[in-house]
Structure 1
Amino acid sequence: MNDSTFSLSNRQVIVTGAGQGIGRALGEAIVQLGGRVVAVDLNAEALANLREALGPDRCATVAGSVADPAVAQQAIEAGVAAFGNVNGLVNNAGVTRTGMIDKMSIDAWQTVIDVHLSGSFYFLQALGRHLIARGKEGASSSGAIVNISSDAGRRGTIGQINYGTAKAGVLGMTMCAAREWARHDIRVNTVGFGVVETPMTETIRGEKFRDTYLQQIPLGRWGAAEEVVRPVCFLLSDAASYVTGQHLSVNGGYTIGL
């Protein structure tokens, strides 16, 4: 084994939610490892900034909502136009709409389900269709998909039943797709994050909840975006060529035993 095993030089990867936080760090890491990125985000300005930073030969962009099935197909087309093929995906885009169960609005429920669960399905389906069609044409159908879940999908969470439900659903999606598409050499895995230092976790990391959460993390600290994307890159790489249908927790030990 050598360093090339962990290279992403053979990967053209769609990354959703790539405009900031974990998504941006992931795009940067993929390019550093030799890969190319199709960055998807609602924020067109953030995408333009990312493309400038990574280089137009390494980064294509699509501005739009992952809750729109048409955007998933646009991302495939953008990747093919820019790089000739797409064979990787990280379903990372996310939103939160907090509320206790008895007070949660239907809109708050549906918005989170649409982005995290349906959005992940739309992109997974689009890439799978693309790769399977390539295989029928005699080209390689090999691909790697990483769905981003959360501790909320394994332990539950207070005030976010929409988010916890969606993230639990992602685990089932991973296992079903991994079983169906193994014969096409399309690997599908999940990475579940704990509390990572991003804008989405500012409330949890605030004074009110900080000590409660940190006491439950054996490593005793929050995760940094730059370090939690490394396991995702591993699963995208040939180093994980015999890994599919698995759920990897990247959370400082928060879910030990689960």
Structure 2
Amino acid sequence: MTGVCQDRVVVVTGAGRGIGRAHALAFAAEGARVVVNDVGVALDGSTTGEGPAADVVAEIEALGGEAVASTHDVADFAEARALVGTALERFGRLDVLVNNAGFVRDRMLVNLGEDEWDAVIRVHLKGHFAPLRHAAEHWRAETKAGRTPSARVVNTSSGAGLLGSVGQANYSAAKAGIAGLTVVAAAELARYGVTVNAIAPAARTRMTEEVFAADMARPESGFDAMAPENTSPLVVWLGSEASAHVTGRVFEVEGGRVSLAQGWRHGPAVDKGARWEPGELGPVVAELLEKAPEPEPVYGAS
């Protein structure tokens, strides 16, 4: 290990299992002190009474690292403030926020209930906003006090948020919102010494275990391309001081592959210089479509 995050204080949400757990362990292995946040819920967000955050803390401590467990609800505004406070009270500072918590309630759009929509939007999108809001407030105060931080935020979007996914309208909308939040936060928080990036990971977790089978290892190397641990090295690097020049970006991460996602961009245009009549626009739209590349297909679309 290189110690790229030596003594940095990191909050990882949804860190009791899967990708979040992998992030927490990877940060600890690089010398970070970690707040392991996980409220302990089932795949659909229902309460289980389990304490996975404490289990991950025990793993980190057994390896000689420092960590503290948090069971705060990241989508509750007051509890998100308390989560940030946990890092400050226990370790005296906050350097990195990794927003990762989430769950799924998949349903085709015509069957999607209001409660299923609200729950997924709440935990993913508000669950990113609330900790980010309170961390940003702290970093702004530090800057005003003459202690400009070298702070990092790493959000968790998804291929579903970048391209869409059939049967996941709520999840896709939330993850697309996270990508949008990332670029806005990057622009607003740069003055306070904060970078904000996001990853769109593909890995085998409770949410994807039926999609990414355990036998996807490369036979010649034994490399399990879908292991959640593969997503963590980039997150740790983005959380380090070495990444100060990178902000407002979304990276796709799968196995040993890292790619930079290209979001919405201004494309072909036709300017009449005056208001269009509705009947004029058919040929205009046809011309624009002819000039533009075909969009990437939605996941699961036939």
The TM-score bracket by the shorter chain reads 0.7 to 0.9
> Equivalent residue for 1:94?
102
One-letter code of the match for 2:237?
A: F
> Equivalent residue for 1:216?
none
Counterpart of 1:244 (choices 242, 247, 272) is 247
Distance, in Å, in 2 between the alignment partners of 1:99 and 1:154 is: 19
One-letter code of the match for 1:144?
A: R
Comparing 142-151 with 222-231, greater Cα deviation is found at 222-231
Whether 1:45 and 2:42 are equivalent positions in the alignment is no
One-letter code of the match for 2:238?
A: L
Residue pair 1:144, 1:186 contacting (<8 A) in 2 also: yes
SS across alignment from 1:201: coil
Whether 1:27 and 2:13 are equivalent positions in the alignment is no
Counterpart of 2:212 (choices 200, 205, 210) is 205
One-letter code of the match for 1:66?
A: V
Superposed CA offset, 1:148-171 (max 9, x none) = 111001111010000001111111
Deviation at 1:10, TM superposition (A): 4.1
> Equivalent residue for 1:153?
161
One-letter code of the match for 1:232?
A: V
Matches within 5 A, 1:168-207: 168-194=176-202, 196-205=203-212
Deviating above 3 A after TM superposition, structure 1's stretches of 4 or more consecutive aligned residues are: 252-258
Matches within 5 A, 1:3-152: 7-43=4-40, 45-55=51-61, 58-152=66-160
Distance, in Å, in 1 between the alignment partners of 2:212 and 2:226 is: 11
Distance, in Å, in 2 between the alignment partners of 1:257 and 1:61 is: 33
> Identity of aligned pairs, percent?
36
One-letter code of the match for 2:206?
A: P
Deviation at 1:239, TM superposition (A): 2.1
Higher normalized contact order (CA 8 Å, seq sep 6+, divided by chain length) = 1
CA separation of 1:90/1:257 partners in 2, compared to 1, >3 Å: closer, same or farther? closer
Deviation at 1:138, TM superposition (A): 2.1
Q: Number of paired residues?
A: 245
Greater C-alpha radius of gyration: 2
CA separation of 1:254/1:77 partners in 2, compared to 1, >3 Å: closer, same or farther? closer
Normalising by structure 1, we get a TM-score of 0.87
Distance, in Å, in 2 between the alignment partners of 1:256 and 1:187 is: 16
Residue pair 2:26, 2:236 contacting (<8 A) in 1 also: yes
One-letter code of the match for 1:45?
A: G
Gap runs ≥5 in structure 1: 212-219
Comparing 18-27 with 248-257, greater Cα deviation is found at 248-257
Normalising by structure 2, we get a TM-score of 0.75
Distance, in Å, in 2 between the alignment partners of 1:92 and 1:257 is: 18
* Structure with the higher fraction of residues in helix conformation: 1
One-letter code of the match for 1:247?
A: V
CA separation of 1:136/1:109 partners in 2, compared to 1, >3 Å: closer, same or farther? same
Residue pair 1:197, 1:222 contacting (<8 A) in 2 also: no
Distance, in Å, in 1 between the alignment partners of 2:177 and 2:131 is: 15
Deviation at 1:203, TM superposition (A): 2.6
Deviation at 1:251, TM superposition (A): 2.7
Deviation at 1:140, TM superposition (A): 2.8
